[in-house]
Structure 1
Amino acid sequence: MAVYKLLLLQPPVQDFYNTAIRLQPIGLCYLKATVQKFLPEFQVVVKDYHQGWGRHTLPLPKELAYLKDYYAYPDKSPFSSFYQYYHFGASFEAIAEDVAAEQPDLIGISSLFSPYFREVMRCAEAIKQRWNAPIILGGAHVSVEPERMLRHECIDFVIRGEGERPLVEFLRAWMQQSDYDKVPNLGFKRHAKLILNPLAPNYAIDDLPVPDFSDFPANRYLFEQRPLSFVITSRGCPHRCAFCSVHLTFGYRYRRRSNEAILHELQQRYHAGYRVFDFEDDNLTFDRQAMLELCEKIIANFPPGDLQFLAMNGLSYHSLDVELLHKMKLAGFTHLNLSLVSANQSIRNQTRRPHSLEHYFTVVHEAAQLGFQIVSYQILGLPDESLDSMIATLVLNAQLPVLLGASIFYLTPGSPLAQEFPPLTETDVFKARLTAMSIETPHIKRDDLFTLFVTTRILNFFKGLELPEKSMPLAEVLHDAEQQGGRTTLGVTILHKLFEQHSLYATVGNNLKPVRRFQVELFFRVWNQLERICTQQGRQITHLASFSGDFPNG
């Protein structure tokens, strides 16, 4: 039946680190299923050139040369940050060779994350040298910067916003060699002029088919050695967070699939061998009642304990309560990623996240009692937040049963906050990543950002220890941890030097080298405000003051 071949690919990325377990290309698999539903003339193949191809080292890009003093050593200690810059995925040459072997009629490339737009362009350039087929781009970054992407000589088309309906209508126009002006969301070139068609609604969310993962075996993507599948229950974000641009892709109108459709997809994946499901929604629990009912359906239709559910894209604690947490736990949820952003009410108001801190405490304590593994994310370096305010949030979370998720602020293209800055250059977009530590403010400098980031590593070291008693003084905790061997013993050795010599060391081979940009005075400003450290298991590390050194309280 198939007459044409459409190849959809996920490109590699280049950075200091890789998020290895969140790479299943569900967006491309949605596109594949939708095209094959409406246009059976097309054979659609999805290729993942990011996951499963290993990595190789790269020279540090010139735009990031200032990071050499911060990421100075191949540190093997528990408190290391970054060191080597990598290419994660297939080489551009290998991609071009593989694409040419497929002989596609059209090629689609996903451009999800703004700082990796250059990798998308490199893919397009390499492919065009080997195979002359139209290249179309889509994804969140294209929705934010369609003109910058379309301007590149190797890019023929772009799609803004949700891609299913625009791609189908584009393919129809392409087959019929008709005018592209009526294809919604499409960007194209006419006589060297860039044309961006108006945006239009996508298909109704329940009319979208289940994503087609048939190009990948169930064991391609794993979480703790079990087959992992992404699931999306909704699209659209009703919140208007100042640091986010997701509305440019999915809009502000919240649309949720029916629970029957979601359950059908889970059952289909279950029979295909998947046992771990990560809900990648931006707002999984926004419709509280619908989420309660979904949990009840999961409990009624699957063997107890057979499935594990995650929400690694994060949950708004605003939409969680005691009843929903209990139901989610019974259904098989094990991890909660919460976004606090800041404990400072005025900062939360400015970033349009005016959620109650009291409610945050309720959610954290109830979730911890239920046995959830909790990560709480704080943004370090928001433009109007003082250093004292950032420290206060860090101290608050250090004393709660959560792991600390430190997210260093960067300007997301298209976000409301980015509009308050001069127009972003290509270099600015490239540096829109946590590892770049690119934004300094009157309140916080790069040394401070680095120090607070490493401080979260130190505090998480304590939080990850398993204590035999509900409450233990720090001296006993360090003594017991020192006996464990490996990196734990190494961490204790470095901590003793930090407390006694007021210097943090990296482990390089068998040697210890000072971490030069770590501001020890700032570390002790945080440390001296801690009354205790709460581990992930809810146990308390006390008597911290005897390790405070000679630095005064902040």
Structure 2
Amino acid sequence: MKKASYKLLLIQPPVQDFYDTPIRLQPLGLAYLKAIVRRELPDFEVTIKDFHHGRGRRPIPLPKELGYLKAYYAYPDKSPFCSFYHYYHFGASFDEIAAEVAAEQPDIVGISSLFSAYSREVIRCAEAIRQVCPATILVGGSHVSAAPENVLRHKCVDFVIRGEGERPLVEFLRAWKDGGDYAEVPNLGLKREGEIVLTPMAANYSIDDLPLPDFSDFPPERYVFERRPLCTIVTSRGCPHHCAFCSVHLTFGATYRRRSNEAILEEIALRYAQGYRVFDFEDDNLTVRTAEMKALCEQLITRFPEGDAQFLAMNGLSYHSLDQELLGLMKRAGFTHLNLSLVTAESGIRRQANRPHSFAQYLEIVRFSALFGFKIVSYHIFGLPDERLESMLDSLAINAELPVLIGASLFYMTPNMPMASSFAEMTEEDIFKARLTAMAHETPYVRRDDLFTLFVTARILDFLKGLRFSTPSISFTDALEAAEQNGGRAALGAVLLRRLFDEKVLYAAVGKRFEAIHRFNAELFFRFWARLHFIGTQNGGLITLMS
């Protein structure tokens, strides 16, 4: 006999790493799933539990696979150039998760597995839940789309969903409710007589047919940016580019789809009425349809009071689709920050990575963005498989002189990304190391010490780029003196830089003592420094260097 109602519990799991991103953690994908199930299957009660954000952190032992990192993350460094030290569990413990899930008494538990490096935490959640709860356990998300068999082989996982999840989840719940004939459920992974079976992929609902994500489990004050309530939005799914280091197509397919401006504005207006004031667009390519984005900005300018609503695109923007007019409209609409994905200035590596981006256009976009007063972060990838060290130094030197902060990303492989086809199949350990902090991917041209030195050098540059002074330019010596006068971490940074230049050694600040960072390659740092004529600060000033 069928039940009158059923309970679906959707979970955002904790993560374990050296650091956590304090924003961009609102589980938007789960909110879309809740909304579609409530519309299509009203006999299902759906609850989202975020076991990651707002659940604290605690140090845990460093996994043995990452033991080599002790030589790099050696000290609890309090300097402005610090890298990492403690390895943490961010979020609720697995025992707490199991207890809370058991108390909910769900029929089905859906767990989000977004990042391959954190798939172990997903399995630990499933194992803990299985010990205390008889619910069916279903896993979906980007990692599942990339490596479904890897997830489904675990005994504690009953089903997986690949690709976009709305239609597959609805069809799965219908089949589950009717007794378990899953042959017609698209995008599903299941076990049949001990064998893994993957059903064919099929199209999702039309993007404009999707209901607005259901945020009813999230109070607005839970997710904040600069102390104001933040919510995430997407205007599109997919990306028309096919960069070799990106695996977004494994989840969203090869077709780019954009929502209508009317639907986007309706969602922003609803969130504004709910108390949100910061709106983060998490598109993989927000501005690719330039004319439509310009029209959206014009409507945002009209609809919302100046300075009241703030717009961000923290997932990054492709400068390929930006121009001066769009930047001006974005600024007037309330965009304050620009995260640009440079990757590399080397044209040959860009071609290999299948990026249709012009470096001349990048320089133009940075110049216009600075004129409009945006706070700009430019993201590099250090360690791409075929890029030489000298090329990375050149790219870093170019951005050192521009009015941008530098977002240093150390290359890592993820399962079935296009670039991965040229390498051996990833092992479980490789998947676990698919994270920036692991510095796992060495090449014939770049070793781990080089990657570490580039990462710390970017932090040194960002320290200098963040200094403020009253004149258009200042000498490096005077900049350090001004930093010392400011006290605190600024003064500490100045002291450490003086010692670096005097002794050719970078020190960590550990309590009241200094400890040499042995893996920092001072010779490489000074080889880079010799390329510079000046440093461009984030607010448009110049720090001039001695020749």
Question: Structure 1 length normalisation: TM-score?
Answer: 0.98
**For the residues of structure 2 that align with 1:373 and 1:347, how far apart are their CA atoms?**
27
Contact 1:506 1:512 (8 Å CA) reproduced: yes
Q: Which runs of 5+ in 1 are unaligned?
A: 546-554
Question: Which residue of structure 1 aligns with residue 365 of structure 2?
Answer: 363
- The alpha-carbon deviation at position 304 of structure 1 amounts to 1.3
**For the residues of structure 2 that align with 1:544 and 1:219, how far apart are their CA atoms?**
49
Question: Which residue of structure 1 aligns with residue 233 of structure 2?
Answer: 231
Segments of 4+ in structure 1 off by > 6 A?
none
Matched, 1:475 2:482: no
**For the residues of structure 2 that align with 1:425 and 1:544, how far apart are their CA atoms?**
49
- The alpha-carbon deviation at position 543 of structure 1 amounts to 2.6
Contact 1:322 1:366 (8 Å CA) reproduced: yes
**For the residues of structure 2 that align with 1:282 and 1:178, how far apart are their CA atoms?**
35
What letter corresponds to residue 325 of structure 1 in structure 2?
L
Question: Which residue of structure 2 aligns with residue 44 of structure 1?
Answer: 46
Greater CA deviation, 47-56 or 297-306? 297-306
Aligned equivalent of 1:212, options 211, 214, 217: 214
Matches within 5 A, 1:536-551: 536-545=538-547
Matches within 5 A, 1:280-291: 280-291=282-293
Question: Which residue of structure 2 aligns with residue 167 of structure 1?
Answer: 169
SS in structure 2 of the partner of residue 162 of structure 1: coil
- The alpha-carbon deviation at position 300 of structure 1 amounts to 1.1
Question: Which residue of structure 2 aligns with residue 59 of structure 1?
Answer: 61
Q: Deviations over 1:353-394 (max 9, x none)?
A: 131111101100100110101000110011100000000000
Matches within 5 A, 1:285-434: 285-434=287-436
Relative to structure 1, the CA distance from residue 457 to residue 169 in structure 2 (aligned partners, 3 Å threshold; closer, same or farther) is: same
- The alpha-carbon deviation at position 263 of structure 1 amounts to 0.3
- The alpha-carbon deviation at position 178 of structure 1 amounts to 4.1
**For the residues of structure 2 that align with 1:478 and 1:428, how far apart are their CA atoms?**
42
Question: Which residue of structure 1 aligns with residue 513 of structure 2?
Answer: 511
What letter corresponds to residue 420 of structure 1 in structure 2?
S
SS in structure 2 of the partner of residue 329 of structure 1: helix
Contact 2:400 2:536 (8 Å CA) reproduced: yes
- The alpha-carbon deviation at position 2 of structure 1 amounts to 6.8
Question: Which residue of structure 2 aligns with residue 31 of structure 1?
Answer: 33
Question: Which residue of structure 1 aligns with residue 154 of structure 2?
Answer: 152
- The alpha-carbon deviation at position 475 of structure 1 amounts to 1.1
**For the residues of structure 2 that align with 1:429 and 1:252, how far apart are their CA atoms?**
24
Question: Which residue of structure 2 aligns with residue 267 of structure 1?
Answer: 269
What letter corresponds to residue 16 of structure 1 in structure 2?
F
**For the residues of structure 1 that align with 2:180 and 2:127, how far apart are their CA atoms?**
27
**For the residues of structure 2 that align with 1:155 and 1:114, how far apart are their CA atoms?**
16
What letter corresponds to residue 326 of structure 1 in structure 2?
G
**For the residues of structure 2 that align with 1:327 and 1:407, how far apart are their CA atoms?**
29
**For the residues of structure 2 that align with 1:192 and 1:413, how far apart are their CA atoms?**
24
Matched, 1:90 2:92: yes
What letter corresponds to residue 11 of structure 1 in structure 2?
P
SS in structure 1 of the partner of residue 77 of structure 2: coil
Contact 1:2 1:42 (8 Å CA) reproduced: no
Aligned equivalent of 1:136, options 92, 117, 138: 138
Matched, 1:109 2:131: no
Q: Deviations over 1:51-102 (max 9, x none)?
A: 0100011111000000000000000000100000000000000000000000
SS in structure 2 of the partner of residue 512 of structure 1: strand
**For the residues of structure 2 that align with 1:2 and 1:132, how far apart are their CA atoms?**
19
**For the residues of structure 2 that align with 1:344 and 1:154, how far apart are their CA atoms?**
46
Contact 1:11 1:48 (8 Å CA) reproduced: yes
Q: Deviations over 1:433-489 (max 9, x none)?
A: 000000111101000000010000101110000121111111111111110000000
Greater CA deviation, 172-181 or 100-109? 172-181
Question: Which residue of structure 2 aligns with residue 249 of structure 1?
Answer: 251
Contact 2:532 2:545 (8 Å CA) reproduced: no
Question: Which residue of structure 2 aligns with residue 463 of structure 1?
Answer: 465
Fraction of identical pairs, as percent: 64
**For the residues of structure 2 that align with 1:467 and 1:452, how far apart are their CA atoms?**
26
**For the residues of structure 2 that align with 1:148 and 1:405, how far apart are their CA atoms?**
31
Contact 1:2 1:40 (8 Å CA) reproduced: no
Aligned equivalent of 2:182, options 180, 183, 194: 180
Question: Which residue of structure 2 aligns with residue 78 of structure 1?
Answer: 80
**For the residues of structure 2 that align with 1:368 and 1:455, how far apart are their CA atoms?**
23
Aligned equivalent of 2:193, options 172, 188, 191: 191
What letter corresponds to residue 28 of structure 2 in structure 1?
I
Contact 2:26 2:231 (8 Å CA) reproduced: yes
Question: Which residue of structure 1 aligns with residue 497 of structure 2?
Answer: 495
What letter corresponds to residue 437 of structure 1 in structure 2?
M
Contact 2:377 2:406 (8 Å CA) reproduced: yes
Count, aligned residues: 545
Question: Structure 2 length normalisation: TM-score?
Answer: 0.99
- The alpha-carbon deviation at position 295 of structure 1 amounts to 0.6
Contact 1:345 1:354 (8 Å CA) reproduced: no
CA RMSD of superposed structures (Å): 0.8
Contact 2:73 2:83 (8 Å CA) reproduced: yes
Contact 1:481 1:492 (8 Å CA) reproduced: yes
- The alpha-carbon deviation at position 417 of structure 1 amounts to 1.1
